[in-house]
Chains A and B, each alone.
Chain A
């Protein structure tokens, strides 16, 4: 009887099942197809990354061969000259410095706003505010750049003067002016640009804290802030790191806003206030139009360095997340 029912397969499935065996479902075929598609999509990403790296390397080599200075330590950029003289030191340093400053300013504020939206604000207020923050993320960077250059430079200049007058003994604030396009201005504008990204991503992360973990903390007598520290922040840590990394990715690659607000000065200096600052991406934007073939190749070499910096940053972040993976229930 049971034998009977096993072999009685619907007409459509009969071709798939061989003889009296169990019907071989066509669902397995779909499963294989999907797995194939997923693998293909995954490897496409890898292929693209490798292709970009290969392209950058091939294009960069001629200029690197022709460079009459040390590419890694020379601070200026005369790639159109004959012989070309250019080095990555100043702009790589500027890239890392402005991004780091931007994150230092933006991340605490962003996490604060995100926590406020998920755990403190009234629901209606939170969704309105969240909407405006997402809107901020959609503003094109040239708008931030123009605003920074035309409206924000004055106030930042005044603030720079204040910092210099009162905290001038700190080398960072040693610059005596004139106060125009500076690392401070650029990194504040950059901070405003990464703020919405980090905010909306970490808001998603915080909102996903399991209610049972929050209740466990509250039931132990935690205040709201203590609950956030014991349950929400640790649980969200991998997600927070990921959102900061995405913010950093945007900061490192930001081009036009920084081209408009930094001083385009090529030197390694911790002076945040004086006219100065430059980044790899801003340098590419500023120099590309006037570049001759060697100059273009040199800019691509700098792009390769930016690519490497981004890669290192992301791998470091992964490593941090990975190290504590057994302690996070699937939040990674």
Chain B
């Protein structure tokens, strides 16, 4: 179910602007990897290049290799939609489809995959909502609009939508930044559970969160504005937060960010 991700010399561009430069890192299956770093250092850009969402923006492109279990997803004959089905994504702002009910939101990906049988959809919907710790709160109103939920519930709905298609990797870009502390804890608990099944990569600005949920942490930074972001240090979370080997990491983590 879970897959290993190997980025080899990945650079990403917006037009001619290089946002990240030569990122090389290996992400183990069934682990949680946190990406931290100052604003604008390319965390989101890197995350989006893992499921080929970066190229959706006009003029955006990616160089380098990104191997999922040994297969380069940037190979010419790779089906982008298959890549994105394998690698689910949760965005910073909860973005349920506003025109759809809770139920339809969860099964949207399955319907795209051609699943039509009502029983199969019902089962998958319940499973995904349980997996996202949302089932008990919404089971009586599955036909209500998804946009009518609270922010935290919407974000868990988006997680349910992402895991309903049973991806192998789940990418999360600051999934808690729009949420209150209680919802944040709910999602952190959820991440801890999801780890048993999926490879998870999470971008966060919250050091405590990175320390709490992740096994490995990657620290990104930029030398100055206009320069591309680089991976400064990548190690076990415990090591990064107690005894980082690079001075810049330590400065950032202790708040002496430069």
Contact = CB atoms under 8 A, between A and B. Distances in A.
The 8 closest A-B pairs by CB, nearest first: A221-B85, A329-B98, A234-B99, A220-B109, A212-B95, A219-B89, A221-B84, A221-B81
Contacts of A210: 95, 98
Interface stretch (B51-59, B120-128, B183-191): B51-59
Contacts of A226: 112
Contact of B97 (A216, A218, A237, A324): A216
A217 interface: yes
Contacts of B82: 221
A326 B93 CA distance: 20
Contacts of B162: 219-220
Identify the interface centre among B58, B95, B109: most chain A CB within 10 Å of its CB: B95
Contacts of A212: 91, 93, 95
A196 B53 CA distance: 34
Contacts of A110: none
Contacts of A326: 145, 148
In terms of DSSP, what is the predominant structure of the interface of chain A?
helix
B147 interface: yes
A328 B99 CA distance: 5
A159 to B, nearest CB: 39
B112 A220 contact: yes
B113 interface: yes
Nearest to A235: B99
B148 A220 contact: no
Contacts of A123: 58
Contact of B108 (A220, A324, A328, A329): A220
B106 to A, nearest CB: 11
A328 B108 CA distance: 17
Given A123-B58, A212-B93, A329-B147, A222 B99 contact: no
A213 B95 contact: yes
Interface string B21-58: 00000000000000000000000000000010100101
Interface of A: 123, 210, 212-213, 215-223, 226, 230-231, 234-235, 237, 324, 326-329, 331
Contacts of B161: 216, 220
21 contacts: A123-B58, A210-B95, A213-B97, A213-B98, A215-B56, A215-B91, A216-B95, A216-B97, A216-B158, A219-B162, A220-B88, A220-B109, A220-B112, A223-B81, A230-B108, A231-B97, A234-B99, A235-B98, A327-B145, A327-B147, A331-B98
B53 A219 contact: yes
Given A220-B108, A230-B112, A327-B145, A237 B99 contact: yes
B171 to A, nearest CB: 9
A218 B112 CA distance: 10
B165 interface: yes
Contacts of B101: 327
A9 B91 CA distance: 48
Contact of A218 (B58, B84, B113): B84
A222 B95 contact: no
Contacts of B138: none
A324 B104 CA distance: 15
A221 B56 contact: no
A219 B108 contact: no
A94 B85 CA distance: 51
Interface in B138-171: 145, 147-148, 158, 161-162, 165
Contacts of B84: 218-221
Contacts of B112: 217, 220-222, 226, 230
Nearest to B165: A220
Contact of B85 (A216, A220, A234, A327): A220
A123 B58 CA distance: 10
Given A123-B58, A212-B93, A230-B112, A219 B99 contact: no
A331 to B, nearest CB: 8
A218 B99 contact: no
A331 B147 CA distance: 13
B98 A221 contact: no
Contact of B51 (A217, A219, A235, A328): A219
Nearest to B85: A221
Contacts of A327: 98-101, 145, 147
A220 B53 CA distance: 10
Identify the interface centre among B51, B88, B112: most chain A CB within 10 Å of its CB: B112
A328 B101 CA distance: 11
Interface string B71-87: 00000000001111100
A221 B53 CA distance: 10
Identify the interface centre among B81, B82, B83, B91: most chain A CB within 10 Å of its CB: B81
A212 B161 CA distance: 14
A234 B89 CA distance: 22
B248 to A, nearest CB: 32
Contact of A234 (B83, B100, B113): B100
Nearest to A219: B89
Nearest to A331: B98
A328 B109 contact: no
A200 B251 CA distance: 54
